[in-house]
Amino acid sequence: MIKSKKLALALAFGLTITITPAIAATKSPTPTTKASSTKKVTPTPKATATKKAPVKKAPVKKKAPVKKKVVTPTPKPSPKWPPIGFKTDPLGETKLYMKVPTAKEVVGILSTRSALTAQVKACTSFTCGAVFVASEMGCRWWQVTGEVVGPTSAVNRTLKTFGKITTSVSKSDPKQIITILLVTTEPIGSGHILSNIRADCNQGEPTGPLPFTEYKAVG
């Protein structure tokens, strides 16, 4: 029974709650409809494409024409005169100069003059010599003489003249130094050399063809 009462009371209480609002109800005001404000949508302006300014190319500078350097050949200095190391006559009247070169000097001359190289080949078997000559006035042709001297034998060391040579060559210009080879037909012997060398500068007509060499053995 107690459980039922409790239930009844709950129902009565529920009715009370339900009925009371019906008696005291008043007309509820109708809500006024507010005018809704419409926002105007402003269209966003489209970004206009900016035209790129045309790129101006820098003007091409023309290269100035390169001036060619004109190389002026430097004149060779004149050789010292009279030439150093040359001998002349005691009084210096002839203005002729002569020098017997060393072996090193001869090799230096031969390296630049192929014509003389051909003559030197004979000197591997025969007695030879050389001389430098020059004239202040120049010569139409030269004549050089010399003697082949050496020991008489391997036992007898007394000097003996084995033969004489005469060599003639063509002209030389004023103050020009030329090389004259003296190639004999005397077989190379122990200690044989060319000695007593003399040079003549001639201005007249040659007495024979040039160049010319003659060797005469002494009996």
How far apart are the C-alpha atoms of 98 and 190, rounded to whole Å? 27
**Does residue 10 surpass a pLDDT of 90?**
no
Q: What are phi and psi of 127, to 5 degrees?
A: -70, 130
pLDDT of residue 5: 35
Mean pLDDT value of segment 115-138: 87
Closest alpha carbon to 83 in 174, 168, 181, 198: 174
**Does residue 153 surpass a pLDDT of 60?**
yes
3-state secondary structure of 177: coil
158 vs 36, higher pLDDT? 158
* Structural tokens at position 164: 């004489």
Mean pLDDT value of segment 58-75: 70
Strand partners, 169: 142
Calculate what percentage of the chain has a pLDDT beyond 90. Answer: 43
Cα-Cα end-to-end distance for the chain: 191
pLDDT in tens, 27-51: 445 555 554 444 555 555 565 555 6
Closest alpha carbon to 217 in 174, 187, 193: 187
DSSP 87: B
pTM, to two decimals: 0.62
Q: What are phi and psi of 16, to 5 degrees?
A: -55, -45
Confidence band, pLDDT 50/70/90 cuts, at residue 143: very high
- Per-residue burial over 89-107, b if 16 or more Cβ lie within 10 Å, else e, is eeeeeebbbbbbbeeeebe
How far apart are the C-alpha atoms of 39 and 42, rounded to whole Å? 9
**Does residue 19 surpass a pLDDT of 60?**
no
Cα 49 from chain centre? 61
How far apart are the C-alpha atoms of 97 and 83, rounded to whole Å? 8
pLDDT in tens, 69-126: 766 666 666 678 889 999 999 888 899 999 998 878 877 777 777 777 777 788 888 9
Return the H-helix or E-strand segment holding 183: strand 178-187
